[in-house]
Structure 1
Amino acid sequence: MAKLSVPDLAPHGLPRPDTGLYSRVLEGAIPVQDVGLIDAVRRGRVEPVAALSSFEGDKVRLADGSEPAPEVVIAATGYRRGLEQLVGHLGVLDAQGRPVVHGPRTHPAAPQLHFTGYSNPISGTLRELALDARRIARAVARSSD
């Protein structure tokens, strides 16, 4: 069924998983519904790259050693937050490794760094992600004026 509903994105850097959805759920993966990513990748509006290794000043270093100059970085860290090594040194995380601010708000130590998806709101995570995405986009647009 997945092969019919989700096109092969391997030529774009997103290979199809080796195991099926049910097997991945049993391993602890959380299914994600596509809300435009597939189309954005196919049209070249989103470019998957190697894993993010570090931020160094205004540079981004990837695991393959390259240093692109992206307009935006979206770090999909999966079920585990995994933020401590990436941004822990900035003082933007609480004792449990969760961002202390989210959505359009930013921490004074990292004024252009936005977080979303690190809470479990009663209204539903996907709904909140959509709302945050709009708020973050407006905040980024205001900061670039």
Structure 2
Amino acid sequence: MTDDIASLIAQVEDQERRLVLGSFTHDDAWRLGTLLVELARARGLPVTVDLTRGQQQLFHAALPGTAAHNDVWIARKVATVRELGTSSFLAGLRARAGGEVFEDAPWIDAARLAGHGGAFPITVEGVGVVGTVTVSGLPQAEDHALAVEALELFLAG
């Protein structure tokens, strides 16, 4: 494993430990989703934003420059978080650190899962992972970073 990947893995693991909510309601999903859309609009980013709790989609917005294919990526990234309990970015990084491509692993259904950045677990203190916040449309590290930035702002607010 290279030092760069190890450092990035440690950074994402730290984000997942830190970004824990006290609760996550429908209203929280609306506020976080709206915050993400506002960040993207202010920067002119062509992204689709999605928030779930359990199996329920609570927020979804597709900004100009996106396509239906972004929804396919979102579904695959969300399924990765649900299955592994970690961000889709971390799943891909850990595979890469082991010299593998996430989607090429024999136990991975690449049509259903994606080890690409953008889906981040919504974790509630004392409960665990309850949902996802997902961004699709940018390079994977940028999708991940935008989701993390929005969660950090949401928690600070």
TM over 0.5: no
Measured against the shorter chain, the TM-score band is under 0.3
**Structure with the higher fraction of residues in strand conformation:** 2
With structure 1 as the length reference, what TM-score do the two structures score?
0.25
Q: Which of structures 1 and 2 has the larger relative contact order (alpha carbons within 8 angstroms, sep 6+)? A: 2
